[in-house]
Amino acid sequence: MYEIGISRDFLNGRGEIAWGDIGLSRIEADPRLRHRMIGDGDVAENFAGFDAVLVLRQRIDQKLLDAAPRLRHVSRWGAGLDRIDLDACTRAGVMVTSTPLGGKVPVAVAALTFVLTLTHRVLEKDRLVREGRWAERADYMGMGLAGRTIGIVGLGNIGREFARLAAPFQARLAAYSPRAEKAQADALGVELVGLDQLMERSDIVVVTAALTPATQGMISAERIARMKPGCIFVNVARGEIVDEDALIAALKSGRIARAGLDVFREEPLAPSSPLMRMDNVLLAPHALAWTDQIISGNAVDAIGSLLSVAANKRPGFIANPQVLDHPRFADMSS
């Protein structure tokens, strides 16, 4: 029997899979496979006895791999891999797969949702109506996008999709993305620039980059100080990319007029965080992109990878392709 573990962060407060059938019925249809929830608590030994695991935000490190010698596949529900030690997995003969396409459109739409909500000052205008302050509405003028510069930090799958979504609004699009191809950017109408230049020129900055050692802390206090006074800042990537203290200071001073944040340095965001008390910040619990479409998209790829590896077939979206050289995968068919 091929044993598949499901990390407990898929459960809601009632102890149920948060999104209903996330594709587990496809596993149940194969009599050679069995799935069950991984034991409670962050204990590496809970992963012993599994051939594969489906994880959401579970950390996979050397300690866990040492405790689970049978493990050969980690299927990550989502695109980010910052909680998984890919080198350790490769050494241990553990294949890691992800779902980079499932969230591409939903996360890009989430970023655009932040941009439109913040530029049109939707929350402030909602409060004006609820508080009977109609006479103040002229004090809350929004920002039109036509002719403005939107700077995209990270022109990967999500960044490119955001550029496509933003194009009809007639904004100027710029991006910082060292590995982006100029021809691809040109086709999207995006100008590739340096990060400092992007921060200085942009009326709106949207962060979509993956968290890596190179991007951690990339939006530093020095770079935030370069931003145009009164600009708008959106982060749908990872909180660790941004110096959160410097961001808070810039929001207090007004250098950044408004911000939309779906991610934070520490999650959940502490009730004591100054961000909780700021009227010029729109907050979401790392879930703004969670729609029926992201669930169905991730389910297709994450469960599909589990089924492929269980059948010794090469899946799509292997995050550590060097693992194919490991003896465990010598007979894997393409």
Catalytic residues: 238, 267, 286
Residues 297, 103: contact at Cβ < 8 Å? yes
Distance between CA atoms of residues 167 and 171, nearest Å: 7
Residues 226, 196: contact at Cβ < 8 Å? yes
Tokens 């929830």: give the residue: 37
At 50, give phi and psi (nearest 5°).
Answer: -100, 140
Q: Is 327 helix (H, G, I), strand (E, B) or coil?
A: helix
Distance between CA atoms of residues 101 and 79, nearest Å: 8
What is the side-by-side order of every strand in the sheet holding 149-153?
190-192, 172-176, 149-153, 204-207, 231-235, 256-261, 281-283
Distance between CA atoms of residues 34 and 222, nearest Å: 52
**Residue 324, Cα to own-chain centre: how many angstroms?**
26
E strand or H helix at 225, and its extent?
helix 221-225
Distance between CA atoms of residues 66 and 93, nearest Å: 12
Distance between CA atoms of residues 291 and 196, nearest Å: 34
Residues 158, 103: contact at Cβ < 8 Å? yes
Sign of the dihedral through C-alpha 166, 172, 177, 178: positive
C-alpha dihedral (107, 113, 115, 117), degrees to nearest 10: -160
Which letter does DSSP use for residue 37 in this model? E
